[in-house]
């Protein structure tokens, strides 16, 4: 029984160490698309937290943002996180779809104000703003 606990503790420790290493290495990346992509999910979570409290964000957008945050934070994944490169893919796809859905009803300036990093990635993700008739 004790050997299983040791094995599980070693696996959890190695996983935590690899996550920490990825965060440290992501901060050392040179500016560019790769660095923007490494910070995409944390930026989405931060923006969703900020937008949840903004009075101009409608209820359905708040629900979509909450689902996006819960999806990222959930330990249950469609594709296991330990798989290199494709592990976080389900998180990214889900967050992008939910963010695009929520962005339809959130004023663009409010959305850009809540985005914590360079807004060019968000602008590219969302596309051109809809023109009001």
pLDDT tens, the chain, 133 aa long? 678 888 888 888 887 777 677 667 666 666 766 666 667 778 887 888 889 889 999 999 999 988 888 887 777 777 776 666 667 777 778 888 888 899 888 999 999 999 988 788 788 878 776 655 4
Among the listed residues 91, 83, 90, the one whose alpha carbon sits nearest the alpha carbon of residue 41: 91
> Does a structural domain hold residue 115?
yes
Q: pTM for this structure?
A: 0.64
Q: Which residues contact 126 (CB under 8 A, 6 or more apart)?
A: 99, 100, 103, 108, 111
Instruction: Provide the residue range defining the domain that includes 88.
Output: 31-126
Does 15 lie in the same domain as 66?
no
Does 120 lie in the same domain as 65?
yes
Does 70 lie in the same domain as 8?
no
Q: Which residues contact 52 (CB under 8 A, 6 or more apart)?
A: 62, 65, 66
Does 104 lie in the same domain as 55?
yes
Does 17 lie in the same domain as 77?
no
Does 116 lie in the same domain as 88?
yes
Does 110 lie in the same domain as 59?
yes
Give dist(CA 122, CA 99) in Å, integer: 10
pLDDT of 63? 92
Does 80 lie in the same domain as 122?
yes
Does 5 lie in the same domain as 17?
yes
The structural domain count of the chain equals 2
* Whether the Cβ atoms of residue 69 and residue 48 lie closer than 8 Å to each other: yes
Does 86 lie in the same domain as 42?
yes
pLDDT of 68? 84
Does 37 lie in the same domain as 26?
no
Does 74 lie in the same domain as 26?
no
């Amino acid at each position: 029984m004790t050997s299983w606990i040791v094995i599980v503790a070693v696996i959890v420790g190695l996983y935590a160490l690899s996550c920490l290493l990825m965060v440290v290495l992501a901060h050392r990346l040179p500016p560019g698309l790769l660095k923007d992509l490494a910070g995409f999910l944390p930026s989405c979570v931060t923006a969703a937290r900020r937008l949840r409290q903004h009075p101009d964000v409608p209820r359905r957008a708040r629900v979509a943002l909450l689902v996006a945050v819960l999806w990222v934070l959930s330990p249950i994944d469609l594709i296991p996180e330990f798989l290199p490169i494709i592990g976080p893919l389900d998180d990214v796809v889900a967050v992008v779809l939910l963010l695009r859905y929520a962005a339809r009803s959130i004023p663009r300036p409010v959305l850009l104000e809540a985005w914590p990093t360079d807004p060019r990635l968000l602008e590219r993700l969302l596309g051109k703003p809809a023109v009001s008739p």
